Structure 1
Amino acid sequence: MFAAYVTITIVASFLNGSAAVTYLIGHDYRKAQADTKRVPRSWVPVLGMLLAAGSLGLLAGFAVPLLGTLAAAGLVLYFVGALVAHLRVGSRQLVGWAVFFSTVVAALVVNLAHHW
C-alpha cells in the first residue's frame, strides 16, 4: 500500500504542478481555454495558484498526513468545478479533465487508505 500511496501521490503532484506552471506563466493555451469556457482571464493566475497549492500540499502530506488529505480533497473539488465549467458551455472535450480528476481521486483514496 505504501508504494501505491507514494507513486500515485507523486504522479498527481507532478501533473497538477505542471498544469499550475502553464497557468502561472500565462501560456496562450490556458488563456484560450479560459476564453472558451467563458472564465475571466483574471482567474487564470488564481487557478494556477490553486493547482500549485494542491500539488505542494500533496507532497507536504508525506510529512503531515492531514495536509495531504486536505490537498487531495481540495483538488477533487477544483476538478468538479472544472467539470461544471466544461458542461456550462457545452464542451464535451473531457479526456484531459478525466485524467486529472481520476488522478486526484486516486490520490485521495490511497491517502485515506494509507493514513486512516
Structure 2
Amino acid sequence: MFIAYAVVACLLALVLTASATFTLQRNEAIVASMRKVEVPDAWLPRLAALKAAGAVGLVAGLWIAPLGVAAAVGVTLYFAGAVVSHLRVKDFELAPAAVLTLVAAAVLALRVAA
C-alpha cells in the first residue's frame, strides 16, 4: 500500500504544484473558473498557498504519516469545497474538481492503509 500511496500522492502533489503556480500567475483559465464560482481575486494567493501546502504535506507524508493524513484530508476538503462552489452557482463544469476530490480521497485511504 505504501508504494501506491507514494505514487498517487506524488502525482497529486505535482498537479497541486502546477495549479498553485498557475493560480499565482493568474492564468486566464484558472481566473475565469474562479470568477465563475464568485471567488474574489484577493483570495487567489491564499488558495494557491493552500494548494502548495497540500503538495508539501503529501510529499512530507512519505516520511511523517500523520502529516500525510492531514494533508490528504485538507486537499480532499479543499476540492470538495470547490465542487460545492460550482454547484452553488449552477456551474456544472466541475469534472476537474470532482476528479481531484476523488484522487485526494484515494490518497487519504492509501495513507491510512499503509
Q: Which runs of 5+ in 1 are unaligned?
A: none
Q: In the TM superposition, what is the alpha-carbon distance from 1:10 to its structure 2 partner?
A: 0.9
Whether the 8 Å CA contact 2:37–2:85 is kept in 1: the answer is yes
Which residue is 2:28 aligned to? 28
Q: In the TM superposition, what is the alpha-carbon distance from 1:83 to its structure 2 partner?
A: 1.1
How many residues are aligned here?
A: 114
Q: In the TM superposition, what is the alpha-carbon distance from 1:49 to its structure 2 partner?
A: 0.6
Render the CA deviation track for 1:43-100: whole Å, top value 9, x for unaligned: 1111111000001100011121111110000011111111111011101112111221
Output the CA distance in 1 between the equivalents of 2:2 and 2:70.
Answer: 19
Coordinate RMSD, CA, aligned: 1.0
Q: In the TM superposition, what is the alpha-carbon distance from 1:3 to its structure 2 partner?
A: 1.9
Which residue is 1:113 aligned to? 113
Structure 1 ranges of 4+ moved more than 6 A: none
TM-score by length of 1: 0.92
Whether the 8 Å CA contact 2:80–2:97 is kept in 1: the answer is no
Whether the 8 Å CA contact 1:9–1:107 is kept in 2: the answer is yes
Which residue is 1:61 aligned to? 61
Whether the 8 Å CA contact 2:2–2:111 is kept in 1: the answer is no
Which residue is 2:47 aligned to? 47
Which residue is 2:15 aligned to? 15
Whether the 8 Å CA contact 2:83–2:98 is kept in 1: the answer is no
Output the CA distance in 2 between the equivalents of 1:13 and 1:62.
Answer: 12
Q: In the TM superposition, what is the alpha-carbon distance from 1:23 to its structure 2 partner?
A: 0.8
Secondary structure of 1:92's partner?
coil
Q: Which runs of 5+ in 2 are unaligned?
A: none
Output the CA distance in 2 between the equivalents of 1:98 and 1:34.
Answer: 15
Which residue is 1:2 aligned to? 2
